[in-house]
Structure 1
Amino acid sequence: MTDLSQYLPILIFLGIAVGLSALFVFLPMGVSRLTGTHNPDAAKLSEYECGFPAFEDSRSQFDVRFYLVAILFIIFDLEAAFLFPWAVSLQDIGWAGWTTMMVFLAELALGLVYAWKKGALDWE
């Protein structure tokens, strides 16, 4: 049988974290309603993140360029994520590791040139 008392500090920590999170979320909303500063109008409820109104229909067309930019960002973000551990361990992995990374970077550069030539980076 396991001793579940070892989990008590974790449960206390989680309880405090949930309590503080709820306090930070709901306390400002309650204070604004009590003090009268909760006054929504058209300017406050307008779109400010994406710049265009939200869709009424979830099946409406969405521009594919947003997805292309997101995919390219993920690809080059992963490239950076691979470069840091490679740079740290370069002394241990030697020329084989250096050559492998250069092949990887060449493939990514070819992909970038291809995307550039196809116009995936052009925003009209």
Structure 2
Amino acid sequence: MNTEFTPIFLLLMVAVVIGLSMLIMSAVLGPKKVTAVKQMPYESGMNPFGDARQRFDVRYYLVAIVFLLFDVELLFLYPWAVSQWSGAAAPVAAAEAAPAAVAGIPAAFRTLVFWEIQVFVVILVAAFAYAWKKGVFEWR
């Protein structure tokens, strides 16, 4: 019998068991008193008012875009940081013996890649300063 999928099936089985046990435990141990206040809809802990189809303020979208900007920045910077210094501690003899075995950016390109990343960070800092100047971070 081929068992290469056994860990996947075990993971799925454990997930189903945990999900069902949480469902059963919440039904058994959860509160059961139904009141008018508990049945009332709410939005982020506050009572809703007005129509649900109203427009959002544009500042909400600006904050979301700025969050994505800096989230993507970290997405690019983390792999660079790992690859930039992963081969730095490797001995020279090991690098000469098996150059394909040494991970990371080749030593000849590390300075160039470092300054390219610095330009990337400067552009992102300029975008942050622009957003700050435009008042994106001020919630009125």
Query: Helix, strand or coil for the counterpart of 2:23?
Result: helix
Deviating above 6 A after TM superposition, structure 1's stretches of 4 or more consecutive aligned residues are none
Higher relative contact order (CA 8 A, sep 6+): 2
Counterpart-to-counterpart distance in 1, 2:21 and 2:11: 15
Counterpart-to-counterpart distance in 2, 1:17 and 1:80: 31
Taking a change above 3 Å as real, the CA distance of residues 73 and 89 of structure 1, as seen in their structure-2 partners, is: same
> Map of 1:9-88 to 2, 5 A cutoff?
10-32=8-30, 37-41=31-35, 42=37, 47=42, 49=44, 51=46, 53=48, 56-57=51-52, 59-88=53-82
2:131·2:137 contact (CA, 8 Å) conserved in 1?
Answer: yes
Taking a change above 3 Å as real, the CA distance of residues 29 and 56 of structure 1, as seen in their structure-2 partners, is: farther
Say what the alpha-carbon RMSD is for the aligned residues. 2.9
Counterpart-to-counterpart distance in 2, 1:40 and 1:108: 51
Stretches of structure 2 lacking an aligned partner (at least 5 in a row): 86-104
Counterpart-to-counterpart distance in 2, 1:89 and 1:12: 34
Taking a change above 3 Å as real, the CA distance of residues 50 and 103 of structure 1, as seen in their structure-2 partners, is: farther
Taking a change above 3 Å as real, the CA distance of residues 115 and 9 of structure 1, as seen in their structure-2 partners, is: closer
Query: Helix, strand or coil for the counterpart of 1:89?
Result: helix
Counterpart-to-counterpart distance in 2, 1:47 and 1:70: 23
Counterpart-to-counterpart distance in 1, 2:15 and 2:64: 33
1:101 paired with 2:114, answer no
Q: How many residues align?
A: 117
Aligned-pair identity (%): 32
TM-score, length basis structure 2? 0.64
Counterpart-to-counterpart distance in 2, 1:69 and 1:104: 21
Taking a change above 3 Å as real, the CA distance of residues 78 and 46 of structure 1, as seen in their structure-2 partners, is: same
The one-letter code of the counterpart of 2:27 is: M
Query: Helix, strand or coil for the counterpart of 2:56?
Result: coil
1:50: how far off?
5.7
TM-score, length basis structure 1? 0.71
Stretches of structure 1 lacking an aligned partner (at least 5 in a row): none
More helix by share: 1
Q: Could you list the per-position Cα deviations for residues 58-81 of structure 1 after superposition, in whole angstroms to 9, with x for gaps in the alignment?
A: x32112222211211121122122
